[in-house]
Amino acid sequence: MAVFRELRKNVVTSATPPVAPARPPLPPVAAGLAAVRRLAPEGEARWLLVDVAAQRLHLVAGGVPLGQWTVSTAAAGVDAREGSGGTPPGVHRIERRIGAGAPPGTIFLSREPIGLAWPADVAAGVTAPDGEPLPADLILTRILTLDGLEDGVNRGPGVDSLARYIYIHGTSAEDRLGTPCSHGCVRMANADVAELFEQVREGDPVVII
């Protein structure tokens, strides 16, 4: 009888299914494409990927990268909370394209050009039209405003990317690109953001990973 119990125990143990190994994380482009297909499938033909770990922005058609540029995301890391200073994660869409035809280095305040340009006017100490000093974190050349598509992640009370004024924009801190140093936006070199601007349209998805 003892031998039978031991044999039965062995049979049950050997029938236990093996534990499946953990799946490795998807590469950023593949993960971004999966998110676009889930939340904005109509935008699969053309979308943007912001790879925070690599500090790179990719223009993607389907799953094929067409171009990439060095960027700076937030010094505070990935964080959608209001007041966090973080770059929000998840799927967004380009809500507005601002600055078409503006000269390189055009300075924007509250998304409006103010008739001044970087670096010449900044070096000359010119103030803003209201007489106040220009902000240290200048928004230049082109602006792509971002609207979150994921409720509770980057859309809605306390985490709303549009309400937080999260943009892709040109910067006066071009020497710091490749380093997370923004206050939440995605900064680009001015020539790069002008180039990207011509290749995207309002409504195109933007995935931040």
Q: Per-residue pLDDT tens for 86-113?
A: 999 999 999 999 999 999 999 999 999 9
- Parallel/antiparallel/unpaired status of strands 90-98 and 56-61: unpaired
CATH number of 134's domain: 2.40.440.10
The residue ranking higher by pLDDT, 15 or 172, is 172
Q: Which of 78, 32, 85 is nearest to 53 (CA)?
A: 78
* Tokens standing for residue 204: 């195109």
pLDDT band at residue 3 under the 50/70/90 scheme: very low
In a domain, 117, yes or no: yes
Question: Is the pTM of the predicted complex or chain greater than 0.85?
Answer: yes
Question: Whose CA is closest to 167, among 147, 145, 191?
Answer: 145
Q: Please identify which residue in the block is written with the tokens 């049950």.
A: 12
List % helix, strand, coil for the chain (3-state, nearest 5).
Answer: 20, 30, 45
Please give the pLDDT value at position 110: 96
Helix (H, G, I), strand (E, B) or coil at 37: helix
Can you give the length of the chain in residues?
A: 209
- Going through 42-193 in order, the beta strands assigned E by DSSP cover 47-51, 56-61, 64-72, 90-98, 106-109, 112-117, 139-148, 167-171, 186-188
The runs of H, that is alpha helices, within the chain are 2-15, 28-39, 120-123, 190-197
Number of domains in the chain: 1
Residue 157 has pLDDT above 60, yes or no: yes
Q: Under DSSP, is residue 155 helix (H, G, I), strand (E, B) or coil?
A: strand
Per the domain annotation, does 20 fall within a domain?
no
pLDDT at 11: 43
pLDDT for residue 12: 44
Tokens of 140: 């230049």
Whether residue 177 is contained in a domain is answered as yes
* 85: in domain: yes
How many other CB atoms are found less than 10 A from the CB of residue 121? 16
Residue 127 domain boundaries = 25-208
Which amino acid belongs to residue 102? A
| Residue 141 is assigned to a structural domain of this protein | yes
In a domain, 13, yes or no: no
